[in-house]
């Protein structure tokens, strides 16, 4: 019979401990792509000694989160023992909804972390000071209700932003409608959007204004053959003043191969996706190639590599896009994101992306107004683009990291 845990009480009887006696479990929290509410966990779990370096920990707790079909997130909490607990491993999962507040999320996370750490206390001295309470009357077992939506989920949203100074204003609006159906074996999703941005600046008592809008839709369908192969396709369409595109639409079947089983994507992944299809263009102005409309065949291959481990996380994406009617018109892009713990207290982070660009077929033939270019309303010709950031951080001193003191926090 299944027993539902009503509440989990981890109570340390402080009067039983003499000053300086260290019987607490040392815990290291490692957040990867997730909102972890670290201060809240430390405050609610004072019986554990949270340390700032994983080498000093008895238990490594790694928390990851990935978006799910409902618009929320699937959290996975990995537990790995070290030292005398090195043979112990555990995993706890929970899901959140899109409308989940911070309080709901942090309580779910607290329950999951508490539940996982409980298994490590049975082999340490503090295990005798833990009390677990079960609901003796869990009530009748609830019947599984039939899903009247059959896994279909829809959403609608919008945002607005205003900013300005005496001689400068920026106004933007965006809206979207999205939906889809996700199961273990298949996935269908669509998203439609509208964005509008208006920038104004006053120079020498002359007001220059640029208004840019774009809208479009994209959808995909994918069906899995097994843990490694998937087949599907993409349908897309969009309008962009910035890119001189009145409307462009495309359709492409696609094939994906995952080197690792897809169930392991939280810890490691290496996937290759190939797509080939047709793209139709209608331009706002005549292009540098004297085209006002055209239909072109294209192909794209994308490789995605990722590792999330206790030493940090690494992800890389390599993508190549090429028009098949002219193989010299292509774009090659690489994106890398690295967060690495080098040694005790020493960490390094790096982010970079870059592209070699030779496929700007929509550039208008006539040069635009200078104000349009400076205010971001018109695309410029280029052969490359890049963005990079990096940092090195070293923390030293006490390894203890359990005390939370919010006084004067948040003051600029």
- State pTM to two decimals: 0.75
Give the model confidence (pLDDT) of 335-367 as tens digits.
999 988 888 778 899 999 999 999 999 999 887
Task: Give which of 277, 288, 205, 212 is closest to 248, Cα–Cα.
Answer: 277
Identify whether the C-beta of residue 101 lies closer than 8 Å to the C-beta of residue 108: no
Q: What is the pLDDT of residue 311?
A: 83
Taking CA atoms, 225 is separated from 22, 189, 194, in Å, by 53, 19, 35
Query: Which residues have CB under 8 Å from 146's CB, separation 6+?
Result: none
Burial class of residue 208 in the structure, from the number of CB atoms within 10 Å of its CB (0-12 exposed, 13-18 middle, 19+ buried)? middle
Domains of the chain: 7-133 (3.40.50), 152-394 (2.40.160)
Does 137 score more than 80 pLDDT? no
Dihedral angle computed from the Cα positions of residues 397, 402, 403 and 406, in that order, rounded to the nearest 10 degrees = 110
- pLDDT at residue 48 in the model: 86
- Tell me the two tokens of residue 380: 């410029």
For residue 39, the surrounding DSSP H or E stretch is: helix 38-44
pLDDT at 141 over 80: no
What pLDDT does residue 374 have?
67
Q: What is the pLDDT of residue 193?
A: 97
CB 49 within 8 A of CB 76: no
Give the CA angle between residues 265, 267, 272 to the nearest 5°: 40
54 and 60 in contact (C-beta within 8 Å)? yes
pLDDT at 43 over 50: yes
Residue 243: closest CA among 379, 382, 385, 381: 379
Beta-bridged to residue 318, according to DSSP, are 303, 334
73 in Cβ contact with 97 (< 8 Å) = no
């Amino acid at each position: 019979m299944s027993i539902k845990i009503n509440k989990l009480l981890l109570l340390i009887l402080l009067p039983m401990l003499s000053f300086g006696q260290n019987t607490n479990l040392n815990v290291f929290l490692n957040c990867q792509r997730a909102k972890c509410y670290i201060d809240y966990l430390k405050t609610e779990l004072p019986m554990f000694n949270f340390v700032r370096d994983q080498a000093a920990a008895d238990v490594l707790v790694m928390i990851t989160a990935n978006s799910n079909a409902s618009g929320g997130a699937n959290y996975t909490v990995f537990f790995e023992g070290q030292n005398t607990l090195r043979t112990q491993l555990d995993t706890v999962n929970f899901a959140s909804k899109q409308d989940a507040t911070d309080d709901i999320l942090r309580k779910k996370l607290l329950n999951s972390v508490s539940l996982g750490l409980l298994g490590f206390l049975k082999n340490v001295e503090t295990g005798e000071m833990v009390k677990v309470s079960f609901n003796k009357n869990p009530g009748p077992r609830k019947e599984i209700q039939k899903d009247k939506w059959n896994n279909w989920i829809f959403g609608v949203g919008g945002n607005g932003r205003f900013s300005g100074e005496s001689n400068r204003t920026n106004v933007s609006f965006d809206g979207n409608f999205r939906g889809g159906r996700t199961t273990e074996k298949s996935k269908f999703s669509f998203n439609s959007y509208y964005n509008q941005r208006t920038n104004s600046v006053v120079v020498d008592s002359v007001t220059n204004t640029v208004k840019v809008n774009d809208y479009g839709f994209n959808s995909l369908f994918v069906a899995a053959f097994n843990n490694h192969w998937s087949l599907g396709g993409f349908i897309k369409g969009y309008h962009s003043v910035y890119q001189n595109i009145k409307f462009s639409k495309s359709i492409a079947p696609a094939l994906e191969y995952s080197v690792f089983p897809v169930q392991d994507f939280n810890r490691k992944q290496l996937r290759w996706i190939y797509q080939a299809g047709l793209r139709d263009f209608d331009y706002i102005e005549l292009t540098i190639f004297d085209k006002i409309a055209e239909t072109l065949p294209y192909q794209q291959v994308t490789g995605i590599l990722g590792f999330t481990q206790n030493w940090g996380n690494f992800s890389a994406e390599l993508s190549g896009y090429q028009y098949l009617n002219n193989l010299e018109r292509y774009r090659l892009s690489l994106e890398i994101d690295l967060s690495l713990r080098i040694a005790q207290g020493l960490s390094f982070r790096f982010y970079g992306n870059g592209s070699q660009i030779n496929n700007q077929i929509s550039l208008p033939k006539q040069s635009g107004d200078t104000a349009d270019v400076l205010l971001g309303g018109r695309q410029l010709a280029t052969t490359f683009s890049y963005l990079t950031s990096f940092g090195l951080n070293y923390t030293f001193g006490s390894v203890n990291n359990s005390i939370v003191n919010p006084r004067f926090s948040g003051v600029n």
